[in-house]
A and B are shown apart, each in its own frame.
Chain A
Amino acid sequence: MKTVVGLLAVMANALLLEGLSKAFGGNRVLRAVDLRVKGGEIHALVGENGSGKSTLVKVLSGYHAPDRLACAQVNGVDVRLPLPAGAAARAGLAFVHQDLALIESASVLENLFLGSLETKLGWRVPWRHEVLRANNVLARFGLGSVDPLQVMERLDGAERAMVAVARAVTALDRAERPGSGQASRGVLVVDEVTAYLPEDAVRRVLGTFRSTADLGFGVLFVTHRLEEVFSTADSVTVLRDGAVVHSSSVKAVTRQELVSLMVGRDLDEEAEVGAREVGAVGGEQAALVIENLEAGAVTDVSIRVLPGEVVGLTGLVGSGFESIPYALFGAAPANGRIRIGRQRASLRGWTPRRAMRAGLALVPAGRLTRGAVGTATVGENMLLLSARRLWRHGFISPAAERAAAESLMRQFDIRPPLSDIELGRLSGGNQQKAILAKWLTSGASAFLIHEPTQGVDVGAKGQILGTIRGLGNAGKALLVASADQVDLARVCDRVVVFREGRIHSELSGSGITEARISAAAHGIDAIKVKA
């Protein structure tokens, strides 16, 4: 239901960015980006991982400073980026990030009006008045049934996101801005808030965007889910490799076109996503069999991995593939059955120790938080699992340790080859190699790897992927869960693509290309891809 202000706002630009460029070192992340969000419109920003979407949001929110920016205006008023902390609302910008930043133990009302509670003389808060105000705000955003005095942690995912949106808009409303009383009222920037929410929740959250836009605000929302773009947005901008490749009304573009715009580099052939081939490779004894896995966000997952095979798991953020390695290792609760070699077990009550004894290895994301200890030496980390083997005659001989460490460092080409410096001092790629080396010493037959090249520079990426391939050639079975579709296309024999918690399709052999993986992740069944 549009308000008068809302109708007036349609003409004005809520947000105008021209010529925004940003580079990190030699890496150009944003190239002369132009963006225009009108008041009263919902504008979607889409792009693949690494396209620059999140950097754009971070520049807007003041986390990064732009290298070059020809013009930045909110409500027609020039703003200087980066904005200092706290100045965003005053400038007319409000943000809702994926981490909603709500206080679980406080009430809905306190969360809503954090920082903008009305006070009377002596800082007294007129609570009854505030409750009425909260009810009004909640009703406006479709949360009329929520009690403002309810504790935040009782609300479900959808309500939480909706409260976060309501809070941001309220803060915008109350902030004093130069030239207020203008037609457009500010910009709400929403970053990937719906990624982990179920369908019906998403619909409700999208409803709040509509309510916000009807009030006259411009809404810029970043998303992976193209359904949302077509169901809710008025306009869409596509980023690819840091540049804007398309910007138009949503009606002027189809879903297939969007995907090919998002992905479309180096591809000049027509391609079809391969049909599902689970279980097609029979005969050989599988090294790893997963049956009816149910964990985290995924259900009904069954996969077979042969010795020497590298199988990739991927999908959009929130599709659930990222929980699989941890579930299989017993690091997260799961249901289902697993078979490693000849050993069978149920995943209920599965623990890392049992997984290791059965021959599994887990290389988690988060190198220094879950994969290895940064303050321990390279040698200590690498030899953690072989300490028992080195313990002869009641001693772990330092010489034997050093020899074992040096042999591993040579094998994995870890530089610098000093085993008694702290692991944290190595580069990301070398740290990752050291962690892979550690698991090699455990004698595992199947490796579960999550985001192997995260935070690793380009040169080392190839080495890590080469190491993974080498492990496969040595007869190990490898399951690589990664959102980096370029990597998967380089190293995997098969790629299983997940969508919304289930297996969507499987690609194999020469059918594995980044474009096809991406298309499958977005649910496109057949695409024509142009250069």
Chain B
Amino acid sequence: MGSKSGEGYSPRTEERQPETAPFPPPRGAIYRARLRKGAASATPRYGLVGAWGLLIIIFSILAPSTFPTALNFETMFSTGSVLLILCLGILPSLTAGEIDLSFAGIFGLAAIIVAYTNVNLHIPIVVCLVIGVTAGGLVGVVNAVLTVWVGIPSLIITLGMGSLLSGLALGVTSLPIAGVSNALVAAASTRFLGFELVFFYAVAATGVLWYVYRFTPLGRNLFFVGAGREVARLSGLPVRPLAGGTLIFGGLVAGLAGALLVGTQGSADPTAGPTYLLPAFAGAFLGSTAITPGRFNPLGAFVAVFFLQTGTQGLELLGLSGWVDQAFYGASLIAAVVVARLGRRP
């Protein structure tokens, strides 16, 4: 079987190999190359963190009596936590190359379901939670089946689904439902070290997702499913279960986030859901420019969400209200995507 090994390299048809550095290169050379690469890439990787710090400084100067206070920061971190959890819920689907626009609708409807079943139907709060989260999961399953198995692009399916669910929420009630069980409120908004519990849940969720992304084969596989679906398929990865699974995950998390929102407010507002759509996407995309630029990642999302929260809260303290939020989220989203594209090799 080795008969051809000699004849394989006929010199007449082969050009000389270009001279390169000795192989393997000495350990020092590799280390120095890494260091150089590390220094060059620190700026884009942690730029967002720097921008966040800058924002805090600017607002502290502009509103010295209201911004740099403990109360303000506590509010900021608590309000941003539900958004962060929502954002983390759509991160896997974005990584896998799907776009889930229905999460805001699931979120809003789940909040209404939890509140309605608890307040109007007098069902124990724990059961209501289960119902809410399960409902979210079921919607996720429908999304998954229609997208991954039937083959309709996720963008279209989830757009319709989101609208459908938001409408349903309004159909259940047009006015906020108040008077939710104190147990839920306590579970979400009891203060610990000054922060509401929901903040710690968000931190934990970030940590779990970071672990999965960084240290598990699942995280690696999800990235490949999104970055090169055909490559993933030809490498034997279970593409459909993975992609579909991320949509189901998104539904479950959106349901959970809805329940947590009810806990932080003590009530459920049927119009609240859709207002979280853009901020969550803004957070995910802005986050993809940080820590691991070019890839959706949980730590980046964490920084991004609180960066955005700082921005909107600061602007409100300066007296600009309402419209400024949307403008700020929109501008951040555009800036994030443009920076990410320009940052990629030309």
On whether the beta carbons of A462 and B9 are closer than 8 Å, the reply is yes
Interface mask (B34-50 → A, CB under 8 Å = 1, otherwise 0): 10010000000000000
Report B1-50 residues with CB < 8 Å from chain A CB: 1-5, 7-10, 12-18, 20, 23-25, 30, 33-34, 37
A132 to B236, CA, bound (A): 54
Interface mask (A443-472 → B, CB under 8 Å = 1, otherwise 0): 000000000000000110111011001001
Report B275-290 residues with CB < 8 Å from chain A CB: none
Q: Does A286 contact B (CB under 8 A)?
A: no
Stretch at the interface among A252-260, A289-297, A485-493: A485-493
A381 to B128, CA, bound (A): 45
Instruction: Return A509 CB to nearest CB of chain B, in Å.
Output: 7
On whether the beta carbons of A384 and B235 are closer than 8 Å, the reply is yes
On whether the beta carbons of B236 and A356 are closer than 8 Å, the reply is yes
Nearest B residue to A395 via CB reads: B215
Count of A-B contacts judged by CB separation below 8 Å:
118
Nearest B residue to A386 via CB reads: B217
What B residues does A373 contact at CB under 8 A?
A: 224, 227-228, 231
Interface mask (A329-362 → B, CB under 8 Å = 1, otherwise 0): 1010000000000000000000011011100001
A114 to B322, CA, bound (A): 52
A385 to B33, CA, bound (A): 27
What B residues does A493 contact at CB under 8 A?
A: 1, 3-4
On whether the beta carbons of B217 and A396 are closer than 8 Å, the reply is yes
What B residues does A509 contact at CB under 8 A?
A: 3
What A residues does B24 contact at CB under 8 A?
A: 406, 410, 417
Contact partner of B227 (CB less than 8 A), chosen from A364, A376, A394, A413, is A376
Q: Does B220 contact A (CB under 8 A)?
A: yes
On whether the beta carbons of B14 and A458 are closer than 8 Å, the reply is yes
On whether the beta carbons of A391 and B9 are closer than 8 Å, the reply is no
Instruction: Return B208 CB to nearest CB of chain A, in Å.
Output: 12
Q: Does A415 contact B (CB under 8 A)?
A: yes
Q: Does B216 contact A (CB under 8 A)?
A: yes
Instruction: Return B1 CB to nearest CB of chain A, in Å.
Output: 4
On whether the beta carbons of A372 and B8 are closer than 8 Å, the reply is no
What B residues does A465 contact at CB under 8 A?
A: 8
What A residues does B15 contact at CB under 8 A?
A: 458-459
Nearest B residue to A329 via CB reads: B234
Given A309-B1, A331-B233, A462-B14, answer yes or no on A375-B227 (Cβ-Cβ < 8 Å): yes
Q: Does B230 contact A (CB under 8 A)?
A: yes
A406 to B223, CA, bound (A): 22
Q: Does B221 contact A (CB under 8 A)?
A: yes
Report B80-109 residues with CB < 8 Å from chain A CB: none
Q: Does B124 contact A (CB under 8 A)?
A: no
What A residues does B14 contact at CB under 8 A?
A: 458-459, 461-462
Total chain B interface residues with beta-carbon distance under 8 A: 42
Q: Does A369 contact B (CB under 8 A)?
A: yes
Interface of A is mostly: helix
Nearest B residue to A374 via CB reads: B228
On whether the beta carbons of A418 and B227 are closer than 8 Å, the reply is no
Q: Does A40 contact B (CB under 8 A)?
A: no
Instruction: Return B260 CB to nearest CB of chain A, in Å.
Output: 27
Q: Does A214 contact B (CB under 8 A)?
A: no
Q: Does A380 contact B (CB under 8 A)?
A: yes
On whether the beta carbons of B236 and A353 are closer than 8 Å, the reply is yes
A353 to B230, CA, bound (A): 13
Instruction: Return A280 CB to nearest CB of chain B, in Å.
Output: 15
A465 to B7, CA, bound (A): 11
Interface mask (A315-326 → B, CB under 8 Å = 1, otherwise 0): 000000000000
What B residues does A486 contact at CB under 8 A?
A: 13
Instruction: Return A23 CB to nearest CB of chain B, in Å.
Output: 16
Contact partner of A352 (CB less than 8 A), chosen from B18, B228, B233, B345, is B233
A415 to B29, CA, bound (A): 14
A262 to B9, CA, bound (A): 24
Contact partner of A491 (CB less than 8 A), chosen from B4, B33, B230, B236, is B4
Q: Does A128 contact B (CB under 8 A)?
A: no
On whether the beta carbons of B4 and A370 are closer than 8 Å, the reply is no
What B residues does A331 contact at CB under 8 A?
A: 233-234
On whether the beta carbons of B4 and A384 are closer than 8 Å, the reply is no
A266 to B10, CA, bound (A): 12
Interface of B is mostly: helix
A374 to B234, CA, bound (A): 15
Q: Does A3 contact B (CB under 8 A)?
A: no
Q: Does B238 contact A (CB under 8 A)?
A: yes
Report B222-251 residues with CB < 8 Å from chain A CB: 223-224, 227-228, 230-231, 233-236, 238
Q: Does A62 contact B (CB under 8 A)?
A: no
Contact partner of A384 (CB less than 8 A), chosen from B215, B220, B294, is B220
Instruction: Return B289 CB to nearest CB of chain A, in Å.
Output: 15
A353 to B227, CA, bound (A): 19
A185 to B252, CA, bound (A): 69
Interface mask (A473-492 → B, CB under 8 Å = 1, otherwise 0): 10000000000001000111
What B residues does A384 contact at CB under 8 A?
A: 220-221, 224, 235
Given A373-B227, A391-B217, A472-B1, answer yes or no on A385-B236 (Cβ-Cβ < 8 Å): yes
Report A382-430 residues with CB < 8 Å from chain B CB: 384-385, 387-388, 391, 394-396, 406, 410, 413, 415, 417-418, 420-421, 425
On whether the beta carbons of A466 and B9 are closer than 8 Å, the reply is yes
A462 to B12, CA, bound (A): 12
On whether the beta carbons of B231 and A370 are closer than 8 Å, the reply is yes
On whether the beta carbons of B220 and A380 are closer than 8 Å, the reply is yes
What A residues does B17 contact at CB under 8 A?
A: 459, 463
On whether the beta carbons of B231 and A372 are closer than 8 Å, the reply is yes
On whether the beta carbons of A370 and B230 are closer than 8 Å, the reply is yes
A353 to B221, CA, bound (A): 14
A396 to B3, CA, bound (A): 42
A472 to B216, CA, bound (A): 33
Q: Does A371 contact B (CB under 8 A)?
A: yes
A80 to B34, CA, bound (A): 51
A461 to B15, CA, bound (A): 10
On whether the beta carbons of B23 and A473 are closer than 8 Å, the reply is no
Contact partner of B215 (CB less than 8 A), chosen from A372, A394, A469, is A394
Q: Does A6 contact B (CB under 8 A)?
A: no
On whether the beta carbons of A308 and B227 are closer than 8 Å, the reply is no
On whether the beta carbons of A391 and B216 are closer than 8 Å, the reply is yes
Instruction: Return B291 CB to nearest CB of chain A, in Å.
Output: 14
On whether the beta carbons of B227 and A459 are closer than 8 Å, the reply is no
Nearest A residue to B16 via CB reads: A459
A100 to B10, CA, bound (A): 40
On whether the beta carbons of A417 and B25 are closer than 8 Å, the reply is yes
Residue among B3, B4, B227 with the most chain A CB within 10 A?
B4
Given A372-B228, A373-B231, answer yes or no on A396-B1 (Cβ-Cβ < 8 Å): no
On whether the beta carbons of B236 and A469 are closer than 8 Å, the reply is no
Given A459-B17, A469-B5, A486-B13, answer yes or no on A417-B235 (Cβ-Cβ < 8 Å): no
- Which residues of A come within 8 Å of B, CB atoms? 266, 306, 308-310, 329, 331, 352-353, 355-357, 362, 364, 369-376, 380, 384-385, 387-388, 391, 394-396, 406, 410, 413, 415, 417-418, 420-421, 425, 438, 458-459, 461-463, 465-466, 469, 472-473, 486, 490-493, 509
**Can you name 13 extra interface pairs (CB under 8 A) apart from A331-B234, A353-B238?**
A371-B234, A376-B223, A394-B215, A396-B217, A410-B23, A410-B24, A420-B37, A459-B16, A462-B8, A462-B14, A469-B5, A472-B2, A490-B10
User: What are the 3 A-B residue pairs with the smallest beta carbon separation, nearest first?
Assistant: A387-B217, A373-B228, A308-B1
- Which residues of B come within 8 Å of A, CB atoms? 1-5, 7-10, 12-18, 20, 23-25, 30, 33-34, 37, 215-217, 220-221, 223-224, 227-228, 230-231, 233-236, 238, 294, 345
Contact sample, A vs B, 7 pairs, CB 8 Å cutoff: A352-B234, A357-B236, A375-B294, A384-B221, A396-B217, A425-B345, A473-B5
